[in-house]
Amino acid sequence: MPAVSDVLETRDPAVYDFVSTKKGPTGQLPLTDDLLRHAPSGDLFGWSQNVGMGLNPALLGRKEFLILSTHGGMRADDGSPVALGFHSGHWEVGLLVKAAAEELQRQKCIPFAGAVTDPCDGRTQGTAGMYDSLPFRNDASMVLRRLMRSLPTRSGVLGVATCDKGLPAMMMALASQHNYPTVLVPGGVMLAGEAGEEDTGKVQTIGARYAHGEITLEQAAEAGCHACASPGGGCQFLGTAATSQVIGEALGLALPHSALAPSGQPIWLDMARRSAKALVSMSQKGITTKHVLTDAAFRNALAVFAAFGGSTNLLLHTPAIAFMAGVKRPTIDDWTYFNRKVPRLVDALPNGPVGHPTIRVFLAGGVPEVMLHLRDLGLLDLTAITVSGESLGKVLDWWAASERRQRLRDLLRTRDGVDPDAVIMSPTAAKARGLTSTITFPRGNLCPAGAVIKSTAIDPAVVDADGVYRKTGPAKVFTTEKAAIAAIKGEGAKTVVAGDILVLCCRGPMGSGMEETYQLTSALKFLKWGKQVAVLTDARFSGVSTGACVGHVSPEALAGGPIGKLRDGDRVQLVIDRVNLVGTIDLIGDETGTHDAEWGTAELMRRAPRPDLAPDPQLPADTRLWALLQNASGGVWGGCVYDVDAIAARLR
């Protein structure tokens, strides 16, 4: 422990060897009579600060571009940590910023850089830190937008981001720049681990598996140490981070084949340099964000989302990006249309059937490869403009014949021994492998305003031969995630067992900031009997969640939703048709016996809410404010945004 004297005083005499005056930079600002008379004082003082930071005065007047990132932590020159970041996803993105900035200098432009770092949903699972997760997205987007506006001389913005909240926040901020060119640089993914090592999704279940005796202490320790195969990049599965990268590229906001690039590798840095070139080119051609983020771009993104089978968290983020872009927000009907129309084509973690890590999806061709198949099916608007300056149709023509496509797919085949067509499949091959469409939006007396289930991720072993998941069981109701995970581990006041319906309420926006409950879903996935349990909650799920997990149950319990009226022992029925993508979630009985949905509707009307419904006592006031504002702006299905006009109307 440092001595108090060492904290208060130093014994190094060199610290007193400093100067208090120094002549400023030499040279002159390239001022003119017109600038002095008419330019804002901020522009002139900005030049003074630019040369004060070391810029050659002769370079003043060149185009200025802003690079914003979600970089976190502090790395030494050799890559070793000086101060850790919150997660690997933002640990290396500073290297992308540097590569892009150097390219902007080569393009005879002046780069500026700023950062708004982001949290890790994996790190905050099961903690009060999760209550800030979704609200953080709005806060970060707001600060990013303020930073953009705080450089009035910008000619465009490059956004570098990787993970679950920072990347959607960045896309929202870029989307707001209607009259400026913007380019998204996806921060890439972690490398795959060696054969036999657990990925970063499975490793988050070591506590539950150990509690049930399914792994030893030594096995847990080994798995936890090896899961992160590289120091940077988003997780190896198609969770929220990876799906957000996919959506960014599908929107045309990122360069073709930039999503899911391997963090730290030369091809990853090259993507940043080419993105900087694209930003300069857009500025020269007069292409701005409003030309890219159109209704057509969002339709294309919804089609690509369905083909990838991505994270249901994008149901929250995509409408928010659309709102900031000033275009129509996708509705449940829009999501349902594309998920019924578009086949799932990608075999990646966590969905399977094999479950390839995301780096293999990149090598197999990533977003443009999937889009080639969707083009053949007539499911894309090929006139949509991308940040490359070309239409999507021309981009796909390039991709189909490109050397890049051929070399990377050959590399996956010859070096890794994986057939790229088994990672990204044709519609015919996908159907033969049993891949089903991604999500279903069930309704019923327990979710009259809607809910969502990643129906493609239900364990096939509990799905009937006709493709329908049917389950009726007793409810075990919890109002805190801590109590629910204790019940799964067999350590709580009540225990969850095979056949139960685990109900977790009071965890929507008003209860806990709509926390992510991967701690529950992952535990059930990797417990031998977990597939025999269904989850029903007004919270949300991680993109890596699998199983019969119904989230976004609306209205939430604290908004008067019927989920807040369930009691232990109630009979709940789930019917999810994975073929036709329809489903129902209903109360159909209680301790008196099993009845039907009509009985359940009448019973719920008679009941009062549970007496234990309350916001989490640790819910921050900041998050309570976010919950109120987003609820007035369209709520969960509207993307949890701040619609100022709607809020103002409520306040009148």
Catalytic residues: 542
Q: How far apart are CA 93 and CA 499, in angstroms?
A: 45
Q: How far apart are CA 301 and CA 379, in angstroms?
A: 11
CB-hemisphere CA count at 13 Å for 441? 17
Q: How far apart are CA 145 and CA 323, in angstroms?
A: 14
Q: How far apart are CA 418 and CA 430, in angstroms?
A: 16
Q: Token pair for residue 476?
A: 């075990």
Q: How far apart are CA 639 and CA 266, in angstroms?
A: 36
Q: Residues 162, 89: contact at Cβ < 8 Å? A: yes
Task: Return the amino acid letter for 573.
Answer: Q
Q: How far apart are CA 67 and CA 431, in angstroms?
A: 43
Q: How far apart are CA 521 and CA 543, in angstroms?
A: 11
What residues contact residue 565 under an 8 Å CB cut-off, 6+ apart?
604, 607, 608, 609, 610
* Count of all residues that appear for the chain in the document: 652
Q: Residues 356, 423: contact at Cβ < 8 Å? A: yes
Q: How far apart are CA 483 and CA 503, in angstroms?
A: 11
Using a 10 angstrom Cβ sphere, with 0-12 exposed, 13-18 middle and 19 or more buried, the burial of residue 33 is exposed
Q: Residues 212, 526: contact at Cβ < 8 Å? A: no
Q: Residues 548, 458: contact at Cβ < 8 Å? A: yes
Q: How far apart are CA 475 and CA 87, in angstroms?
A: 36
Nearest CA among 485, 611, 504 for reference residue 552: 504
Q: Residues 489, 478: contact at Cβ < 8 Å? A: no
Task: Return the amino acid letter for 77.
Answer: D
Rounded to 5°, the CA angle 615-136-85 comes to 120
